[in-house]
Structure 1
Amino acid sequence: MKYLNILSLFAAGSALASSCHQYYECCNNCQVILTDDEGSWGNLNGEWCFIDEKKCVDLVDTCKFEQYGYRCCSHCDVFYTDEMGKWGVENDYWCGIPDSCNASNNAPSENFFDNELYAGPNYIKEIESSIPKLSKELQAKAKNVEKVATAVWLAWEGAPDEVEQHLKAAGTKTVTFILYMIPTRDCNSLASAGGASDLEKYQGYVDKIANTISEYPDTKVVMVIEPDTLGNLITGSTEACKNVHTLHKQALSYAIDVFGNMSNV
């Protein structure tokens, strides 16, 4: 790969010989720039360096693709996926994504929405109870639907007591809750009337939920706050809505202030 004249060869041998290559320094990282019949090469202070694959075993990992004559990728960037697995590209050649990448991809993400989302057990039970009634083709599709993440509604008086069971079940997954208990909910319309009896009760409701969430700092939470009310503040032109605008603004401000100051929400 490298073409050196005799003088430079001797100079390299005396000045640059290292434990991993006769003429080049060892790289201090595992980022591959070029691969040839000698191995993998990187860059060190603007000069070629040789990558010690023994030290980079976690990145230059063994993988099932080697049995098909392909190298393992030294990175985890997936370019293509087929029935054989996940593929990347390195130096204009296909390479197989190593198993260590799959393990790291299953780790919880710091991003709330990149992280795996929680599917509530009640939703899963409903899907499972419906599967026997479906055709074989639809049963397979229903099994896939069963894995779809769902939000947990907090819309009745006892809902705060159910928060902990969802946080426990979720572990490091992201749980989505929908807070739906504001006083005079939906301007007391017939379809979804209800909610807490007054502002003080609502604040206690919010506090109880927040206190439980604070006990599970490793579980990420997305809190959707009063979806009907936010719309009604803008479009609710009836007297029933106008009469509760101030109350609703106070309740929303309280909930946003409480949950907005929690690091895992």
Structure 2
Amino acid sequence: MTASKFLLTAALAGVAIAAPVIEERQSSCASQWSQCGGTNWSGATCCTSGNYCSKVNDFYYQCQPGADPSPTDSLPSSTAGGSEPTGTADPTAAPSGNPFSGVNLWANDYYRSEVSTLAIPKLSGAMATAAAKVAEVPSFQWMDSFDHISLMEDTLVDIKKANDAGGNYAGQFVVYDLPDRDCAAAASNGEYSLDNDGANKYKNYIQTIKKIIQNYSDIRMILVIEPDSLANLVTNMDVQKCANAHDAYLELTDYAVKELNLPNVAMYLDAGHAGWLGWPANQGPAAQLFAGVYKNAGKPASLRGLATNVANYNAWDLSSAPPYTQGNSIYDEKAYIHAMAPLLEQNGWPGVKFITDQGRSGKQPTGQKEWGDWCNAKGTGFGTRPSANTGDSLLDAFVWIKPGGESDGTSDTSAARYDYHCGFDDALQPAPEAGTWFQAYFEQLLTNANPSFL
């Protein structure tokens, strides 16, 4: 359902291909923000002057403004920025109870750079001012490929400097690189395949993250584990790719949770949303699956609970059901988590807590025609700001997990990762590749934000 979440901006791009110097009058070169390369791409591979061709992922290269930056190593040294590894967790970094309490959340430079270099230059007046405010909202940083682990360390270097100067910040990250990832969707296929040693490559990915976390054991870290993976095992076993990945998903999720069970870490397994696993027929099997992961991993202390509504649009608490919820009495995330908590306890996971993504849930109802229309839905807006003040004992925090403005998937039917959901009437179009900056979508979120940024 979700997709590779990162766009390497001119300020942060670590991998790029050089664009040849070609005069602008040569119309064969791609214009700014257009595609200029990628797997199976047959179009222009150069950019008009003043732009360079930057690798976003293997499937998509994009013409971005500026000069081609010098390539950098894909993964910095574990002591980047001068910070030294530490052997044991700082007591203030180890969460006791709600990990969102007693700390400030960090607004990472990656998303700030996307907004400042891609969004704001196309805006003016009140919209530009409002966009600058969005850039300062703490959102999760996605490690959706091995190369993007370096962005985690970049952020931790920044947090350490701030904390050494008297701050008290925690980092928020998404672990998202399972082999044959997102088995029921095409838009978000990842870099690893089970047929090409993907399991061992994923274990190396986890070990690399683990070492970085251990090197910054004085910083509290909050992790969301593998969006969409376990939920697909509940509802999509009729999809051959999901059936084939079933055992590997469970084995590797178990591996990730065990290896990342560290003193300064709090983890939340992704648990879909009300419109996915909230249906009566899905709640029981979902609770059995999630509780099974918890027990099979040895009931790790760092596994705090479940994350819901990741990259989706559901409200936290509604007084009436939107028409596209199709008669389900569980039509918001509050009802969903209160339905799931007792079932999880019955299956051997007591005391489960939740977080819910409200980054794109500000406008209700949305423009969705069907509840399962997940791709770049029309009629959405930025929602409730991240906060541990939830007023609900089951909910640890409102969070922004999906970076608002990054595309869910391309509407180009000829693209290798085209998913038909991205071509529906209720999906904003034309849309670029998943993870690529989608200016029109950002502006929609900003215009419809509730509370407003304007």
Aligned to 2:176: 180
Letter paired with 1:253: D
Q: 1:190 to 1:141 in 2, by over 3 A?
A: same
The CA deviation string for residues 18-59 of structure 1, in whole angstroms up to 9 with x for no partner, is xxxxxxxxxxxxxxxxxxxxxxxxxxxxxxxxxxxxxxxxxx
Find the aligned partners of 1:207 and 1:258 in 2 and give their Cα distance.
Answer: 7
Aligned to 1:256: 257
Alignment of 1:149-160 (within 5 A): 149-160=138-149
The structure in which a higher percent of residues are helix is 1
- Aligned-residue offset at 1:155: 1.0
Percent sequence identity over aligned pairs? 32
- Aligned-residue offset at 1:117: 1.0
The alignment partner of 1:147 has SS state of coil
Letter paired with 2:189: A
- Aligned-residue offset at 1:132: 4.1
Find the aligned partners of 2:150 and 2:93 in 1 and give their Cα distance.
Answer: 26
Aligned to 2:36: none
Aligned to 2:112: 124
- Aligned-residue offset at 1:236: 1.4
The answer on whether the counterparts of 2:171 and 2:221 sit within 8 Å (CA) in structure 1 is yes
Q: 1:123 to 1:162 in 2, by over 3 A?
A: closer
TM-score, length basis structure 2: 0.33
Find the aligned partners of 1:132 and 1:188 in 2 and give their Cα distance.
Answer: 36
Aligned to 2:100: 113
The CA deviation string for residues 212-263 of structure 1, in whole angstroms up to 9 with x for no partner, is 110111111111111110211111131221111001100000001111x201
- Corresponding residue to 2:122 among 133, 147, 166: 133
The answer on whether the counterparts of 2:180 and 2:192 sit within 8 Å (CA) in structure 1 is yes
Find the aligned partners of 2:247 and 2:94 in 1 and give their Cα distance.
Answer: 39
Find the aligned partners of 2:170 and 2:128 in 1 and give their Cα distance.
Answer: 27
The answer on whether the counterparts of 2:93 and 2:217 sit within 8 Å (CA) in structure 1 is no
What's the Cα RMSD here? 2.2
The answer on whether the counterparts of 2:192 and 2:201 sit within 8 Å (CA) in structure 1 is yes
Find the aligned partners of 1:132 and 1:233 in 2 and give their Cα distance.
Answer: 42
The CA deviation string for residues 128-185 of structure 1, in whole angstroms up to 9 with x for no partner, is 2333432322232222212101111111131233322111112241111111110111
Find the aligned partners of 2:112 and 2:182 in 1 and give their Cα distance.
Answer: 29
Aligned to 2:202: 202
Alignment of 1:220-235 (within 5 A): 220-235=220-235
Find the aligned partners of 1:154 and 1:210 in 2 and give their Cα distance.
Answer: 13
- Aligned-residue offset at 1:126: 2.1
The answer on whether the counterparts of 1:180 and 1:195 sit within 8 Å (CA) in structure 2 is no
Q: How many residues align?
A: 158
Q: 1:188 to 1:236 in 2, by over 3 A?
A: closer
Structure 2 residues not aligned, in runs of 5+: 1-91, 161-167, 266-454
Larger Cα-atom Rg: 1
TM-score, length basis structure 1: 0.55
Structure 1 residues not aligned, in runs of 5+: 1-106
